[in-house]
Amino acid sequence: MDTIRTDVCVIGAGSGGLSVAAGAVQMGARVVLIEGAEMGGDCLNTGCVPSKALIAAAKHAHWMTSGAGFGVAPSPPQVDFAAVKDHVAATIASIAPHDSQERFETLGCTVIRDWARFVSPREVEAGGQRIRARRFVIATGSTAFVPPIPGLESVPYLTNETIFALRDRPEHLIVVGGGPIGLEMAQAHRRLGCRVTVIEGARALGRDDPELAAVVLARLRAEGVTIMEEAPVVRVRGEAGRIEVVTGDGSVIHGSHILIAVGRSVSLDRLDLAAANVAHDRKGVTVGADLRSTTNRRVHAIGDAAGGLQFTHVAGYHAGVVVRQMLFGLRARATTRHIPWATYTDPEMAQVGLTEAQAVAEYGAERVTVLRAAFADNDRARAEALTEGLIKVMVVKGRPVGASIVGPQAGELIGLWALALANGLKMSAIAGMVLPYPTLSEVSKRAASAYFSPKLFDSPVVRRVVGLVQRWLP
């Protein structure tokens, strides 16, 4: 068996692994990139990209039904479900060359298309070759978690890895799981003409601020999505086209298709991490803040494999952390306080830093100022009839520690607050912005200005100073 000696061996060609490989090879390191499945990983092929393409198609269908308030007669959309999936496939295909094997080989990487397996603390085997590296990066991502529900093993079910290949429109889609993925897919399919029922064992969007989550759930219900909460699934039965889901209270939901969207499972099983002396558990590789294995310092883990937040942009952020260490010997640590995330329902929901409950728990209610600004008070939102939602900003000693947004383009608007948290900006910096009018981004400035309003407009001292100045000004 041939042995390849290299500086960096990256296992997994998803967003994080590709970022490490591209950065390292272009700065002069020898890089071997190993991928057993599709280049681009889950995000490109079965996750972020196809889901947003599907959501975009669903929005176009919805807009055809919602123009009455603008003087535009609603028209029932004629949805060609197979053509929608053609749009999804075309979107993937347009991005795929950037993540392709050919591009990375052109950059100078050695790309091996096979599953990697550790055979020692500093060697892996893949594609009939042994790779001996100075540093390894585990970037294997995650797959859809399929819970052990009785009967599920004998019923055809969908996950995010299979639903985008479905070309016939489901008559009635049952979604098991009321988290972001489940609700994004529920709303999109409802807008594309499917009946949809979401079954959640606890509270839908249970990890998000309840005040914001309530806005999203109300909209989905208004659009015709049935959402059952506190309804654990105890059994599934049936066959293709005729599926029954039984919940804990004995309710039986009949549907044509079932989508399992209850979370993700980290992909580590094939690696034989014991052979590399790499400690891990079901959440991922056991790493420190530097993302290095606590038991084998030659090994780093990034993205989902590192056992933390499971977002594509986190994997990209982690890539930068490990590249600084591996290529330049610099100390670098990962943190999560400035990491934003978004749920791409309509209205969107986004978060960075601490929620209101988390801020109060950490700092105490007396030290936290919670600022609110409603989209109903934003002139651009009024003009476009997008007035559902609000922004909440949690402030301690003049600096934001968290921001929560539900409303139009929340995923875009959260970027300002991510910048503020990442750089320790004060509320005065946000309040001092000059923004074009009218824009949705003014909602953030309005929230920031609210921090100073009581000090300026309700202060007897300010009033006395202004009175004196006016007496003495020429």
Binding residues for NAD(+): 177-184, 200, 263
What kind and span of H or E run contains 34?
strand 31-34
Pairing of strands 3-11, 129-138: parallel
Annotated binding-site residues read 52, 140-142, 177-184, 200, 263, 304
Is the distance from CB of 307 to CB of 152 less than 8 angstroms?
no
For residue 211, CA distances in Å to 214, 340, 390 come to 5, 18, 10
- Angle between the N-to-C axes of helices 442-457 and 410-423, in degrees from 0 to 180, rounded to the nearest 10: 60
| Residue 438 backbone zone (phi > 0: left; psi -120 to 50: alpha; other: beta) | beta
What kind and span of H or E run contains 293?
none
Question: What's the token pair of residue 424?
Answer: 């320790």
In whole angstroms, give the CA distance from residue 429 to residue 22. Answer: 35
Is the distance from CB of 78 to CB of 113 less than 8 angstroms?
no
In whole angstroms, give the CA distance from residue 424 to residue 430. Answer: 12
Annotated binding-site residues for FAD read 52, 140-142, 304
In whole angstroms, give the CA distance from residue 10 to residue 116. Answer: 10
Question: What's the token pair of residue 309?
Answer: 């937040």
Closest of 209, 211, 212, 152 to residue 177, by C-alpha: 152
3 state SS of 281: strand
Look up residue 304 and give its DSSP letter. Answer: G
In whole angstroms, give the CA distance from residue 388 to residue 346. Answer: 10
Q: Could you tell me which residues are beta bridge partners of residue 243?
A: 238, 255
Place of tokens 């889950």: 42
Rg (C-alpha) for the chain, rounded Å, is 25
Look up residue 31 and give its DSSP letter. Answer: E
In whole angstroms, give the CA distance from residue 179 to residue 406. Answer: 15
3 state SS of 374: strand
Is the distance from CB of 107 to CB of 26 less than 8 angstroms?
yes
Question: What's the token pair of residue 236?
Answer: 């599934």
